[in-house]
Structure 1
Amino acid sequence: MERRSFLKKSASLGAGTLAAGAVAACSPSPVDPNSGTYKNAGASSSTATGGNSRPSIDLKMVTTWPKNFPGLGTRAEEFARDIEIATNGRIRIRVYAADEMVPALQAFDAVSQGNADIYHGPDYYWQGKHIMFNFFGAVPFGLSATEMTQWLQYGGGQELWDELAAGFNVKPMLCNATGMQMGGWFNKEINSVEDFQGLKMRIPGFGGEIITRMGGTPVTLPGGEIFLSLSQGNIDATEWIGPWNDLALGFHQVAEYYYTSAYHEPSASVCAGWNLDVWNELDDSERKVIEALAEMHYARSLAEFNARNANALRQLVNDHGVQLRQFPQEVMKALADVAADIAADMGRTDDLSTRIYNSYMATLSEVKEWNGVADEPYFAARRLSDKFGQAL
């Protein structure tokens, strides 16, 4: 309560001008190892336009990622850094990796209850709070990363997300995208629907429910625990993200087959979830800058994942002898039918669930129609010639 009163007091001192700071957000600042804050991003107070002294706000971000994990843990650090620079040191955020402050899967509760101020992680981890958080994380056979922004910005998705999360005292926003993911690592080949029977697989959220209905057992584990569980035989398979992150965790050392066709996560949407009280106590200019930075990080992370994944996949195949596999068409058809049934069941949970479901599916119908006319024929045509894509 004392910190909340301080936030209200400091917010009343005036907005200041933040536009110049938003441009400066691309420059990194050295970290003070003692305080966890950035040395040149502001002291105990900062001076806004007009000479008004504006006390800084110190916030805590908890993440679901291992410390310095490529593209996810590092992106959370960069997002916090850019907010501090863009607000001229007014908002200072200390980032905690999974288990540093709370376990990965307790990040949502920490923010909802006010014990932390921001979480950085995928919202399908919180399906135990409400089943429709899955729709804002990843829906199997659903929207891709770019299509997700279409739904949120132009299909009414953000308003529905805000309504859902507000019930838990959270303000959500997209801030990361992993791009098209992989189907996972397996210690046996999947040649038929029957091969899912008895399969124990690390896969959370909506994807986990598919595994259940296919006769397997889903397990939810944070990233830092997957390798050991797979190496000890506690699970038979795991999905994680894609080649870049999978190589970093060394799954090629403990699993034989690497499957493409990420039916379960066409792209994981990573969220920055703010404690709603903290968010509301920021002024309009600060909220606008944070939202703009979140959009920038979403676009940058998607570009980074696409670039890093291509290089990492070459390493996995050429240097480590990983065997790439693709799920057979009859298996994909069975998975898609099960996914459709599960999604519809989720949409019947309550009135808000139905509205989220109908809104999401309306956008999915639109993008399937448009992509079938535009993107898909182009991609097919581009593959006809090997001349493009070759260096001189």
Structure 2
Amino acid sequence: MSRRNFLVQSGAMGGALASLAAPALAQTGNPEIRWRVASSYPRSLTGIFSAMEMVAKRVGELTGGKFNITVHPAGELVPPLGVLDAVQKGTVEAGHSASYFYIGKDPAFGFHTAMPFGLGLRAQNAWLYEGGGQALIDEFLAPYDVTVMAVGNTGAQMAGWYRKEIKSVADLKGLKFRIGGLGGMVLAKLGVVPQQLAAGDLYPALEKGVIDAAEFVGPLDDEKLGLQKVAKYYYYPGWWEGSATLGLFVHLKALNALPALYQTALRTATAEANQWLTMKYDNENPQALRRLVAGGALLRAFPKEVTQAAFGAANELYAEMAEKSAPFKKIHAHWAKFRSEQVMWQQLCDLPFDNLMSALLRGKG
């Protein structure tokens, strides 16, 4: 994507957005269009769900109210994990979901959301917007008659809630763990029994012992879901989601039928929401974490033995997936090279600075 196109997409910030939209809005003859967006998420998740509501609101503002989008929470129009199918079939024009929910169709669906031991927030956005990632994903999705736009990134996630401590790889054997995407497939190699459950099902499943552990996002959302009430050990880091991009799946026919102004408005609004959601999590997660710990949550880091075993399992899984899926092989080769460059760069910029500040504020710098 060129720098100019990116600035058009992300120009939704402040006055720049108004100046971008004003000349187009002065035009006459723009049609009234209504879209329905089915979400995989409940309304109670005021970060993730609100990001999609922000997109709808902003699109309306940019088109003088003529492009109207209504956002429907999980289960209202289609089942939470049936969003992509609904978009493909044309049941709805677009769907708000996470690409990695659909790795059963092809493991390459994982790349838009998150990959185990993958890209952090800045690297993920850099790959999608400037590094060629979006073009590769669009090429992959074309046979499905959809495209996907980023509508928010959670940043690095926590590793979830557990009824018992994880002290070694042996403690993972037989663990019934709600975990999405390829992370579950990695952990399955270490003896975990991964479960795919929608957000609203996590609390009752943990409470009744149907599952032994569950991960979702981080302190803000986990607190809202009440997971701390049914499992006390709170692990980090969520190595399967160094960041996680939420997506707006759009049927290509519906997108191409939009006037150019409306397409620009949609891409501009999604780019704005992609930035806003990260800011919301960074602002509210620290306070939510303090409340969780004050309420009895016990923070634990995964032992080195576990993360090393998981890293080896992830590399093994990626080799297997590349043999089975040509799209996965193609995207992974590009993504892995990009990851290596980003890790090298982070060792010299953010990582040393963050470590320095942490030490100084603890009086150990």
TM-score by length of 2: 0.91
For residues 181 and 144 of structure 1, the distance between their equivalents in structure 2, rounded to whole angstroms, comes to: 10
For residues 313 and 26 of structure 1, the distance between their equivalents in structure 2, rounded to whole angstroms, comes to: 34
The C-alpha deviation readout for 1:94-116, integer Å capped at 9, x for no partner, is 11100000010000000011000
Q: Does 1:123 align with 2:99?
A: yes
For residues 21 and 77 of structure 1, the distance between their equivalents in structure 2, rounded to whole angstroms, comes to: 15
Look up the match of 2:331: 356
Q: Does 1:136 align with 2:117?
A: no
**Residues 74-153 of structure 1: matches in 2 within 5 Å?**
74-153=50-129
Shift of 1:354: 1.6
Q: Does 1:203 align with 2:179?
A: yes
When residues 24 and 64 of structure 1 are mapped into structure 2, their CA distance, relative to the original with a 3 A threshold, is farther
2:319 counterpart (331, 335, 344) = 344
When residues 231 and 26 of structure 1 are mapped into structure 2, their CA distance, relative to the original with a 3 A threshold, is farther
Question: Which residue identity is paired with 2:327?
Answer: L
For residues 305 and 23 of structure 1, the distance between their equivalents in structure 2, rounded to whole angstroms, comes to: 20
75-84 or 230-239: which moved more?
Answer: 75-84
Shift of 1:22: 8.2
Task: Give the structure with the higher percent helix.
Answer: 2
Higher RCO structure, 1 or 2 (CA under 8 Å, sep 6+): 2
Shift of 1:209: 0.3
For residues 154 and 48 of structure 1, the distance between their equivalents in structure 2, rounded to whole angstroms, comes to: 28
Look up the SS of the partner of 1:325 in the other structure.
Answer: strand
Identity within the alignment, %: 32
1:333 counterpart (295, 304, 308) = 308
Q: Does 1:312 align with 2:288?
A: yes
Look up the match of 2:26: 49
Q: Following superposition, which runs of at least 4 residues in structure 1 exceed 4 angstroms of deviation?
A: 19-27
Contact 1:181/1:242 (8 A) holds in 2? yes
Q: May I ask how many residue pairs the two structures share in their alignment?
A: 350
Question: Which residue identity is paired with 2:302?
Answer: F
Look up the match of 1:7: none
For residues 26 and 132 of structure 2, the distance between their equivalents in structure 1, rounded to whole angstroms, comes to: 36
376-385 or 187-196: which moved more?
Answer: 376-385
Look up the SS of the partner of 1:120 in the other structure.
Answer: strand
Look up the match of 1:192: 168
Look up the match of 1:66: 42
The C-alpha deviation readout for 1:30-53, integer Å capped at 9, x for no partner, is xxxxxxxxxxxxxxxxx9524x34
The C-alpha deviation readout for 1:47-93, integer Å capped at 9, x for no partner, is 9524x343310100000101242201122112111111111112101
Look up the SS of the partner of 2:111 in the other structure.
Answer: helix
Look up the match of 1:42: none
Look up the match of 1:235: 211
1:380 counterpart (352, 355, 361) = 355
1:288 counterpart (246, 254, 264) = 264
Shift of 1:283: 2.5
Look up the SS of the partner of 2:289 in the other structure.
Answer: helix
Look up the match of 1:322: 297
Give the alignment's Cα RMSD to 1 decimal: 2.2
Contact 1:184/1:260 (8 A) holds in 2? yes
209-218 or 242-251: which moved more?
Answer: 209-218
When residues 157 and 301 of structure 1 are mapped into structure 2, their CA distance, relative to the original with a 3 A threshold, is same
Q: Does 1:248 align with 2:205?
A: no
Look up the match of 1:261: 237
Question: Which residue identity is paired with 1:189?
Answer: E
Shift of 1:236: 0.2
Contact 1:25/1:85 (8 A) holds in 2? no
Task: Identify unmatched segments of 5+ residues in structure 1.
Answer: 1-18, 28-46
